[in-house]
Amino acid sequence: MNIVLMGCPGAGKGTQSVKLVKAFELAHISTGDVLRAEIASGSELGNKLGLIVNQGNLVPDEMMVEMLEKIVKDTDKGIIFDGFPRTVPQAKALDAMMQRLGRSITHVIMIDLPQEEVINRICSRRQCKKCGAILSVDLKNPPEKCPSCGGELYTRPDDTCKRAAHRLEVYRQSTLPVKEYYQAGGKYVEVNGNQTPEKVFEDISKILQK
């Protein structure tokens, strides 16, 4: 099982990936997490990537494809691709890479979320530096520490309202055409992302168990 999990910023790709990894014993490849780890390392490459990612723009396709291939080669497990592909050239490169590796994409699942929900979700998101938990906080009374492990919470630099709006625009222009690419291939399914995380997970699980 190799799944492309699509959705706009804040749709719940990361939240669902955590659940799917546990339930279906999959490897989770989030290109956003890969990029943030490189940025946090303070490397020369990380500094260059930070200038792009923190403004909500896309990293060039060739760079992303090269980074991804190394990670895919390292795992024999089924994979959830979270945040990749984000452009039609990336989708084509993924198909070609999987074919070279004797694998294929089995499911393309779009978590559909109304745009009016996006900014609210992104502005309320906090992530734990220690355990990586993705939280949705009450902005009037945000917790100081992670409720699960007591770790420090942080806000992603691209999670300001202005940058979230820009990311949504980038998504509309560059990533929505990927939906059409996959619709033509017949593996594309949508789930309603505007339900509880548990219900979204139930809907995705049903698709994967068919």
Catalytic residues: 13, 86, 125, 156, 167
Kindly tell me the burial class for residue 15, based on how many C-beta atoms sit within 10 Å of its own C-beta (0-12, 13-18, 19 or more). Answer: buried
Q: Which of 106, 136, 155, 183 binds ligand AP5 (CB under 6 A)?
A: 136
Give the residue with the Cβ less far from Mg ion, 13 or 107: 13
- If one asks whether residue 14 binds ligand AP5 (CB under 6 A), the answer comes out as yes
Closest-CB residue for Mg ion?
Answer: 14
Considering the rule CB under 5 A, would residue 85 count as an interface residue with Mg ion?
no
Residue 7 binding Mg ion, by CB under 5 A: no
> Which is closer to Mg ion, CB of 28 or CB of 107?
28
Q: Which of 9, 39, 72, 191 binds ligand AP5 (CB under 6 A)?
A: 9
Which string of b and e fits 120-143 if b means at least 16 CB within 10 Å? ebbbbbbbbeeeebebeeeeeeee
Using CB under 6 A, list all residues that contact ligand AP5: 7, 9-15, 31-32, 35, 52-53, 56-59, 64, 83-84, 86, 90, 121, 124-125, 134-136, 158, 167, 193, 195-197, 200
